[in-house]
Amino acid sequence: MIKLPTDFSLYQVDALELLRGLPDASVDLIVTDPAYQSLEKHRVDKNGKNRGRIPRLVTWFSIFPNERFDELFAEAYRVLKKGGHLYMFSDQETMFIAKPKGEAVGFKLWKPIVWDKKYMGMGCHYRARCEFVLFFEKGKRKLNNLGTPDVLKVPRILGGYPTEKPVALMEILISQSSNPGDVVLDPFCGSGSVGVAALKLGRRFIGGDTSEVAIKLSMGRLNDALATSVQNSDAA
């Protein structure tokens, strides 16, 4: 069984294995950004070949197949405390696959929150400027700021870890659905943006990723975030 951290812990492990190792009702909040299957279409053409014109994506991370979402939701539901929230990043294809699977295990999809990245990205058939964050609830818990809109405007990250999300965006979600000292989990942590936001806000963090590069990067960023939050509390 995984022990809950006093500040943070990181594991290079499959997301389901990490979840299976956590006790029932041990986590206050899950904020996560899985490597969902439809991301693959940005990387390979219809014949399965890497798209040479986007060379950076050739070294992209591996994908988490849609069939595994049933167990992912079941485990997420088990480890969350009653009233806990799950925020899951998604595109328009994955949203329709995730909703019934999440609701089958007991979550309620309250609504997709729109992340407005403020600048257009790739594509030409309405160029992409937004992404969705599916807001699932395990029972009822009041949000901490009832005046927050369902469109969050935070500029995208350019040139970071593939699909890296801004810490400022994660701070909004974490502030809304947890309190200082709470445990925040991200089993697909990538570069560690959820963890950095969690530590900045005085929460504890558990992160996992199958990629060695991601875990090394997260470790560096989380140690920096922890050192900064300790300095800030010493100065106060």
Give residues in contact with ligand SAM (CB under 6 A). 14-15, 33, 35, 61-62, 64, 161, 163-165, 187-188, 190-191, 193, 208-211, 214
Tokens, residue 54: 């986007």
* Nearer Cβ to ligand SAM (223/231): 223
Report the half-sphere exposure of 202 (CA within 13 A, side-chain side).
8
Return the residue matching tokens 């990629």: 211
* Nearer Cβ to ligand SAM (178/211): 211
3-state secondary structure of 67: helix
CB of 34 to ligand SAM, least distance (A): 6
CB of 151 to ligand SAM, least distance (A): 20
Return the residue matching tokens 């053409």: 45
* Nearer Cβ to ligand SAM (204/221): 221
**Which residues does residue 80 pair with via DSSP β-bridges, in sequence order?**
27
* Nearer Cβ to ligand SAM (176/218): 218
CB of 62 to ligand SAM, least distance (A): 5
* Nearer Cβ to ligand SAM (141/154): 154
CB of 65 to ligand SAM, least distance (A): 9
Q: Are 208 and 189 in contact (CB under 8 A)?
A: yes
* Nearer Cβ to ligand SAM (167/183): 167
Tokens, residue 62: 């591996």
Q: What is the β-pairing status of strands 27-32 and 80-90?
A: parallel
63 vs 49: CA distance, rounded Å: 15
CB of 36 to ligand SAM, least distance (A): 8
CB of 186 to ligand SAM, least distance (A): 7
Task: For Cα atoms 150, 153, 157, give the angle at the middle one, nearest 5 degrees.
Answer: 130
Q: Are 10 and 222 in contact (CB under 8 A)?
A: yes
Give the DSSP letter of residue 32. Answer: E
